Amino acid sequence: MIQSKSGLAQQAIGTSSPHSSSILDVSSTSKGVLVPRLTQSQMTNLSNPVAGLQIYNTTNKCMYTYSGTAWICEKKYVSNMVSLGDTVTLENLMVRIPKTGNASAQLAFKSGNTRITGVSFYSNTSYTVGNTVASSQAAYMRQSEFLNSSFSYFQSGLTFATRGNVQQIWFTDETNWKFYKINIVNGISNQILIEIEELN
């Protein structure tokens, strides 16, 4: 049922008393509002989108709003337990631990050359018989370096030695002015916890 309140140009669905501040008031206790669902390609190919336009991106599984200059995903955080070689994605950023080569973080971006500056911290703990523990830490910085859709080690030469090892990365996407934090924990049976958070 759609009702119009004369003189105020208001539309109401599911209610006869739309809120005075709304142009459209949708009310329900059992259903939601379904916005247009587009793939990443369909979204980026929209002609002349207006600021405030919203769609659901089925590729990235996220609600997007057009800011007037770029599409912005509402999702700011993702956390997955994955196997070696699996990719965890947050918007345009992709992170993985490769199946072959050194077992540490590789980064890539779905589209475009992206300039980054950031730092990686690594904690390595090894265990021996009798619970003797040896620990080491390392830090590494990258400054104004470009990444693209091909995966690249953030810190080349680094590899997880044992389960429980941790790598943390903080970096700035200087192309799009976004800030990210990545946490990676080496689990058991080649299972890796990867967390990505956009901080701004």
**What is residue 134's predicted lDDT score, i.e. its pLDDT?**
58
Instruction: Give the tens place of pLDDT for each residue, 77-123.
Output: 999 999 999 999 988 899 999 998 888 999 999 888 999 999 999 88
**What is residue 163's predicted lDDT score, i.e. its pLDDT?**
78
CA distance 124 to 138: 9
Give this prediction's pTM. 0.70
Instruction: Give the tens place of pLDDT for each residue, 6-20.
Output: 555 689 899 888 888
CA distance 84 to 104: 10
Whether the pLDDT of residue 4 is over 90: the answer is no
Domain ranges, ordered by start, for the chain:
1-33, 35-75, 76-198
**What is residue 38's predicted lDDT score, i.e. its pLDDT?**
96
In a 3-state reduction of DSSP, which class is residue 43? helix
Whether the pLDDT of residue 33 is over 60: the answer is yes
Q: Is the dihedral of CA 152, 158, 161, 163 positive or negative?
A: negative
Whether the pLDDT of residue 167 is over 90: the answer is yes
**What is residue 60's predicted lDDT score, i.e. its pLDDT?**
79
In sequence order, what are the residues at sequence separation of 6 or more whose Cβ sits closer than 8 angstroms to the Cβ of residue 130?
Answer: none
Terminal C-alpha separation, the chain: 41
Whether the pLDDT of residue 130 is over 90: the answer is no
Question: Per-residue confidence at 127, pLDDT binned at 50, 70, 90?
Answer: low
**What is residue 6's predicted lDDT score, i.e. its pLDDT?**
53
Tokens of 23: 């142009």
For residues 96 and 106, the answer to whether their CB atoms sit within 8 Å is: yes
Question: Per-residue confidence at 125, pLDDT binned at 50, 70, 90?
Answer: low
pLDDT (mean) for 72-81: 88
